[in-house]
Each structure stands twice: as C-alpha cells, then as structure tokens.
Amino acid sequence: MKAFVTGTSGFIGANLVRLLLQQGYAVRSLVRSTSCLDNLQGLDVEVVVGDLNDSDLSKLMEGCQVLFHVAAHYSLWQKDRELVYKNNVLGTRNVLAAARRAKIERTVYTSSVAAIGVGVSGAVVDETHQSPGEKLVGDYKKSKFLAEQEAVKAFELGQDVVIVNPTAPVGAWDIKPTPTGDIILRFLRRQMPAYVDTGLNIIDVRDVAWGHLLALKKGKSGDRYILGNQNITLKELLDLLEEITGLPAPRQTIPVWLPLTVAWVDEKIIAPLGKQPSVPLDGVRMSQQKMYYDASKAVKELGLPQSSIRVALQDAVNWFRQ
C-alpha cells in the first residue's frame, strides 16, 4: 500500500514515515521547495515537491491509496497570522479536496489538542470537550480548530476521514523544535533560570506515529482521537530532566506578568522595528492554562501505546545533544 504523507520533514511526520517504512508501506512525501530535508536523509521515500494550496495537488496523489495529512504551519508569532490561516485552514481544505479527486481511500488528518481547547482551571478533558472557537488562545489554536472543521465537513460529504489530536510529543527528530522540544533544549543550554506554573500532557512521539497508523486501521470515520499519555506539571517535567541529565532544574517560579510584559514589548515594539523577537505573546498566554487531556478513548479503541515518558525524554536529550 502506498501512503501519501504531508509534513514529513517535521517532527511527527519524520517519525511517522519511519514507522510506515518499517511496517512495509511505500511512502510518497510532499515537501516544499524550501523545506529542510535533514529528517528524510537516507530514507527510501518518493519525494515530490509541492505546496498544500497547489491547484493540481491531486495529480501528485495519484497511485496512492491512503493519505496522512500531517503538515501544518506552527507559529505563535502574531506577524505570521495570515500564513497560519492560509496553510492550516485553506491548505487542509485543498488537501482534502485533492484526496477526493485522487480517489484516496482513507485519510488520517493530524489535528491537535489545540483545536479542542482546555478545561476550566486545569480540568482534564477528552474528545467530547470543545472550547468555543473564539475562546481559543491565539491564531494557531483557532486555525487548527477551523482546519478540523474542514475535516469534519469532508466526512459529512462522504469522505473517509479519521482525525487524530496529538498532545505534546517528545523524542528524536524534533528539528524545529516544537515548544516542548524548546523547553528541553533551553534546559540543556542552561537558559531556563525559572519556570511558569503550568502543565501539559506529553507522549512519546513514536506512540503518536503509531496512533496515526492505528487510526488508519481501526479509527471510526468522522471521529477524533486524542493521542496523549501523561499529564504533568512543567516543574515535574524539569525535575525529570534533572534526573536524566544530572543538570540542576530551576527552583524558582516566575510570575506570569513578567513574561507577558517581555512578550508584549517583543511583539509590539521590537518586531515592528525589524528585530527578531524572543518571546511570542500567544505562547505566554497559553502557559496561563494547564493543558491536561484524557487519551483513554485512543487507548481503548485504537490500542494507542503508552510508552515511558522518561525514555522519550532521554531520547530527546540524546538527539538534541547529537
């Protein structure tokens, strides 16, 4: 079986491609002409160059039976608002329409828990929860919410689409890196003297890859599945990194008004002057909410693995160091 996969140069996509090849799938990988292909080096994949919004995308999909639409534009910078909506919402709409024309049999769409939103005061939520779109923090989360609606519309039109919502993956090939990877990298570089009192759900990125493949095989069309594992405070995550690396974790919390002030200055004053800001305002606003999720539906219905978070963090540390 041949799989058409978008987003293969990124973190989840690179791990998914490796799993698909290991499981005997042929892979056709969509990359942009400007993509860094380091994550695909040495892999037996068919690479095609294109864009999520290309009008002739269906031609590139011909001969493939299944689609994994993993690609998304991740940015919390307010200056990237238009790109975020163009790639995540319009791009998803175009990719799904292309899949229909190319007669793709089944699609797994990579949404995010960002599209689901968060519970009140850090409550754990599952797939049945939905924060109102206008209440989601920042354009990235709102774009993922709208993009997931595109997948739902495609299902309602008769397309076979399964939606997966990863939490915060951890592991190797985090090339950009992701926000969680950035925390690990800052910890290793001793650039985190203090921390914000927040929390998140983390999962081994290889389990996320398995979640995609299991969704293809067992997922119910039109349903969404949270691909997550352990709810953990940022303090607990940093303490785990201390145990793994022997480097001391920060002991001081930081009041959220301080990074909010820095981020506001960065985005409203520094960025318009043409300088590179360091802290995204939406990122700080997100950290005010504990992002806790229940992945039991994916565990029960798909058989989503729940591998050791400690091992995943060790893998991430090793990969970043190498």
Of 25, 140, 225, 293, which one is the catalytic site residue?
Answer: 140
pLDDT value of position 280 = 61
Interatomic CA distance for residues 290 and 27, integer angstroms:
37
- Of 181, 165, 206, 178, give the one whose Cα is nearest residue 14: 206
> What is the total residue count of the chain?
322
Query: What domains are there in the chain, each with its CATH number?
Result: 2-170+203-228+296-305 (3.40.50.720)
Q: Are 181 and 320 in contact (CB under 8 A)?
A: yes
Sole residue written with tokens 């969509």: 30
pLDDT value of position 130 = 94
Interatomic CA distance for residues 88 and 140, integer angstroms:
9
Interatomic CA distance for residues 25 and 29, integer angstroms:
12
Specify the 3-state DSSP secondary structure of 226.
Answer: strand
Interatomic CA distance for residues 258 and 298, integer angstroms:
38
Interatomic CA distance for residues 309 and 11, integer angstroms:
17
Determine whether 140 is an active site residue. Answer: yes
Q: Are 142 and 82 in contact (CB under 8 A)?
A: no
Please give the backbone phi and psi of residue 253, each rounded to the nearest 5 degrees, phi first. -85, 160
In the chain, how long is the greatest CA-to-CA distance? 56
| Angle of CA points 277, 281, 285, to nearest 5° | 155
What is the model's pTM? 0.91
Interatomic CA distance for residues 175 and 169, integer angstroms:
13
Q: Are 289 and 118 in contact (CB under 8 A)?
A: yes
Interatomic CA distance for residues 187 and 2, integer angstroms:
40
Residues in the chain where the model's pLDDT stays below 50: none
CB atoms within 10 A of CB 268: 12
Q: How many helices (H) and strands (E) does the chain have?
A: 12, 12
What's CA 133's distance to the chain center, in Å?
Answer: 18
pLDDT value of position 58 = 97
**Residues 111-163: tens digit of each pLDDT:** 999 999 998 888 999 999 999 888 887 788 899 999 999 999 999 999 999 99
